Structure 1
Amino acid sequence: MTTSTPTPTPTPTSRTQTTSTPQDQKARTADLDAETLWRQDRDHFIHPFTDFSQFHDKGCEMITDSDGIYVEDVHGNRFIDGIAGLWCVNVGHGRREIAQAMADQASRMAYFSTFNNLSNAPASQLAAKLAELAPAHLNHVFYTCGGSTANDATIRLVHYYFNRLGKPNKKRILSRRNAYHGTTYLAASLTGIESNNWSFDTLSELVTHLSEANLYRRPEGMSESEYCDHLVNELEAHIAKIGADNIAAFIAEPIMGAGGVLMAPRGYHKRIQAVCRANDILYIADEVVTGFGRLGHFFASEAVFETQPDIINIAKGLSSGYSPLGASLISDELYAVLGTPQCKGGVLSTGFTYSGHPVSCAAALKNIEIMEREDICANVREVGPYLEQSLKSLSHHTTVGDVRGSNFMMCLENVADKATGELLPVEARVGDRVAEEAQKRGLIIRPVGHLNVISPTLIWSRETVDTAVTILDEALSATTASLKRDGFI
């Protein structure tokens, strides 16, 4: 176990080179009253996934500024952003080109409906660009407002598709435990993280959850290939039990994100898709996180996992989080049915007021332009393996049971016993402790229960990786000390 003396939170110039001066940063935050903001936020803003056992007393920390790989709080403290906002600020913060593209479009036309045979240029141009980037058979784009609505809308379209084919019984959706597909009503039902739906209702009669693909916690003594066989056999058994004529689709993240960056055994997705094809079950890839460079490619399904999904759902990195936007990429085969009138005067009666929002689409077009011009996917393919290797060096810590992930999508699993994988008590709040210690030292990572997720902006360099891993090393040492002090280990 390493020991170190905690370092102070970095000042705006202590760890980084930046185009902003301290005077610029002070000017940006001078008009913000930290205490007033804190109270306004605590008293009126219902945050997603709030821990109300602490929120009423602690409130939230106010992030006010950003630049490149950094974010800054209302007090002027600067941090390396190790979570890319929330898996999404792929090209980095403060891209003036994207801001200008949005401003130009808003000045020209901020919004107009895309209903009733109306459209706009950015939405049309982006749809064509997405068809160019996606696997060859995915040439049609249905716009939504984000990832949850993309997954939600997709299931509605899938049911419509089978109704049109005269197969109205094909309604059941196969998902997986610990999957995350969103929090709208239907998307939350697809989500297999049990705690996400505590005290909430779900459409449980519509969704069946299979086992997650989790190499770290596979049955003892089972090889990777045997584990893959085990998961495929489970799928086949469920299809036999439910009946293929009652199952519409299987939905999966190529790598599970919020569920713990869970890695499937090699060949898993390809084999799962083959079983689906053999049973007339659609294969849906939720690439809300893995899309747009996080694994080194615009789309991971075909390039990394050798699958050809019937639908790929995207959001987050599509616009790098600069404006809300999601989409479902639909295959030619499905579009042949969706694009045929259901009757004289019949319409595809689904969509959103903001489907194809011109300002969001303008942001996405500029985001993609930047990614291509700077070859950001190549940076991920070069720096990503270095991040993986560097993070694995943290395995020497007493509490680090597993370091897993791929490229710029990584996770540390904290345990009480490395040999058995036994977890620490929930009240130890180990993930929170690690995140808090890292933030003290100038790095923001994400705590998810006993896990810590690292999903940075895609412009990290090797030098940034070195700095981040040094901070994590110190944070883990401090966490181990505090767990010992409090009697948890």
Structure 2
Amino acid sequence: MTAVAQAILPNEALWEMDRAHSLHPWTNFGPFEDKGSLVITKGQGCYLWDASGRRYLDAVGGMWCTNVGLGRKDMAQAIADQAERLAYANYFVDVTNDPAARLAAKIAELAPGDLNRVHFTTGGSTAVDTAVRMVSFYHRAKGNPTKTGIVAREASYHGSTYLTQSVGKRNGDRIDEFDYKSEGIWHLASPNCYRRPSHMTEEQFCDDLVAEFEALIAREGADRIGGFIAEPIQASGGIVIPPKDYLRRMWQVCQKHDILFIADEVVTAFGRLGHWFASLDEFGVQPDIITSAKGLTSGYVPLGALIFSDRIWDVMAKGGHRWFTSGLTYSGHPVACAAGLKNIEIIESEGLLEHTRKVGDYFQSRMGELSALPLVGDVRGRKLMLCVESVANRETKAVLPDEANESKRISDICEDMGLLVRPLGHLNVMSPPLVITESEIDFAAEVLEKAIRRVTDDLVREGYRIG
């Protein structure tokens, strides 16, 4: 079939091809076999078009990743030029390439503190997978062979490899049909201030969370715990903003017990909160390791980067006799690294970090107005990373039964009106491109309000008690 013929296939044909042959990530088999997928064929800036020609404002930003916006000729040209010059090169052992070397140096320049070393992967999951393995390598190289365990949190998401899905523990991800690694992995409570015990202040809640970590170390032994991993803001786990000073205090506990602090910045890095990296600039924490992906190339080409300290490198490399046997065929891919370099150049030259800080405040303000609606329990987030949590009762924070399916119904109505938001449990999540404007934010807020009001009315007619 020619490229022209592919381009003019009708929506129905593409829909049926996909329904008949595709297994999507997180496929829900019943709805998929019944309704199939929304077929997207074009993207420009913050907008997507489906195969029928309908336009949508993508308030989800793809999967938290289309930071500089879609359809950019400068990005496409940089990718095309690199593909023509050098489409692929082996990156293993002692071979590198021009874009990979330059991107590693640029990332080291932007990263906080002594995080001057970069290991390229294919995405966030593989970056986190490698980080968890690096914890074991590092401590064994130091002569601590049992100090290999990892501490994570409830409601966390760290990827979908076998290891990273075992480390993460987001509601709904653990299913009976899959097995998960449990030995050497511990989970602490999620730092969700909205869901904290009703008798606790935020400060008391923070104290309790830190004490839980210290109690775990005392119980299991610091000689068994090698790393603590945390998203600065838990993304897919519900846009969880931790209590003030929580991350810094958890980092201090790690420092005390020689536990590596891994900041999972797959979502928050490269501009989402108005910084290159959020850990230090937003939360005052100097991690030992940062994992990143998504905004590194704004989704144009798959690429992940694990960024780690000179201190870790020195320990692993001491003596010169060890092999770090972790990597992927597409590690340091020249086309992906060229895309990363161009993406960073655009963020710098167009002032997108400053724009995000400014427009992010407006985004928070406009979406915050939805708090007045009876179905809305909480609107939370920071800059261009927000969610709206639906509840049946604002006072008790009780949620509706799962069969109410309110977040999906809200997102379906938004889609009908030209807006894409992401339903997750009882949440509707948004992470728009950094190039979004105030007028586009106004549109998103107005559509989302109409959708929530309509779903609220429908739920009441169906006999659900709201408020």
- What TM-score, normalized by structure 1, do the two folds share? 0.93
Alpha-carbon deviation of 1:349?
1.9
1:164 touches 1:342 (CA, 8 Å); kept in 2? no
Q: Identify the match of residue 405 of structure 1 among 381, 386, 400.
A: 381
1:126 touches 1:365 (CA, 8 Å); kept in 2? yes
| 1:24 aligned residue | none
Q: For 1:180-199, what per-residue CA distance to the aligned partner results, in whole angstroms no more than 9, with x for missing partners?
A: 00010100011111420212
| 1:416 aligned residue | 392
Secondary structure class of the residue paired with 2:172: helix
Secondary structure class of the residue paired with 1:203: coil
Q: Which runs of 5+ in 1 are unaligned?
A: 1-26
Secondary structure class of the residue paired with 1:126: helix
1:248 touches 1:282 (CA, 8 Å); kept in 2? yes
Distance 1:84 1:461 in 2: 14
| 2:278 aligned residue | 300
Distance 2:32 2:415 in 1: 18
Q: For 1:153-192, what per-residue CA distance to the aligned partner results, in whole angstroms no more than 9, with x for missing partners?
A: 1111110111111100001100000000001010001111
Matched, 1:379 2:355: yes
Q: For 1:214-256, what per-residue CA distance to the aligned partner results, in whole angstroms no more than 9, with x for missing partners?
A: 0101111211111111100110000100100000000000000
Distance 2:260 2:80 in 1: 40
Alignment of 1:54-69 (within 5 A): 54-69=31-46
Q: Identify the match of residue 134 of structure 2 among 157, 175, 200.
A: 157
Read off the aligned partner of 1:95 and give its amino acid letter: R
Q: Percent identity?
A: 48
Secondary structure class of the residue paired with 1:128: helix
Alignment of 1:123-202 (within 5 A): 123-199=100-176, 200-202=178-180
Aligned length in residues: 461
Alignment of 1:386-397 (within 5 A): 386-397=362-373
Alignment of 1:29-48 (within 5 A): 31-48=8-25
| 1:443 aligned residue | 419
| 2:448 aligned residue | 472
Deviates more, 1:301-310 or 1:434-443: 434-443
| 2:192 aligned residue | 214
Q: For 1:7-65, what per-residue CA distance to the aligned partner results, in whole angstroms no more than 9, with x for missing partners?
A: xxxxxxxxxxxxxxxxxxxx999612211211111111100111112111101010110
Alpha-carbon deviation of 1:348?
2.1
| 1:358 aligned residue | 334
Read off the aligned partner of 1:75 and give its amino acid letter: S
Q: Identify the match of residue 209 of structure 2 among 226, 231, 243.
A: 231
Alpha-carbon deviation of 1:486?
2.4
- What TM-score, normalized by structure 2, do the two folds share? 0.97
| 1:248 aligned residue | 226
Q: Identify the match of residue 487 of structure 1 among 459, 463, 467.
A: 463
| 1:6 aligned residue | none
2:171 touches 2:237 (CA, 8 Å); kept in 1? no
2:113 touches 2:286 (CA, 8 Å); kept in 1? no
Matched, 1:425 2:389: no
Secondary structure class of the residue paired with 1:304: helix
Distance 1:144 1:427 in 2: 39
Q: For 1:92-130, what per-residue CA distance to the aligned partner results, in whole angstroms no more than 9, with x for missing partners?
A: 011111111111010011001011311100000000000
Matched, 1:112 2:95: no
Distance 1:41 1:404 in 2: 35
Distance 1:261 1:165 in 2: 36
Read off the aligned partner of 1:286 and give its amino acid letter: D
Secondary structure class of the residue paired with 1:351: coil
1:29 touches 1:74 (CA, 8 Å); kept in 2? no
1:29 touches 1:64 (CA, 8 Å); kept in 2? no
Structure 1 residue ranges, 4+ long, deviating more than 3 angstroms after superposition: 27-30
Read off the aligned partner of 2:77 and give its amino acid letter: Q
| 2:301 aligned residue | 323
Alpha-carbon deviation of 1:481?
1.6
Quickly say closer, same or farther: Cα 1:307–1:300, change in 2 above 3 A. same
Distance 1:316 1:123 in 2: 17
1:296 touches 1:380 (CA, 8 Å); kept in 2? yes
Read off the aligned partner of 2:403 and give its amino acid letter: E
Secondary structure class of the residue paired with 1:476: helix
Matched, 1:88 2:90: no
Read off the aligned partner of 1:227 and give its amino acid letter: F
Q: Which runs of 5+ in 2 are unaligned?
A: none
1:408 touches 1:454 (CA, 8 Å); kept in 2? yes
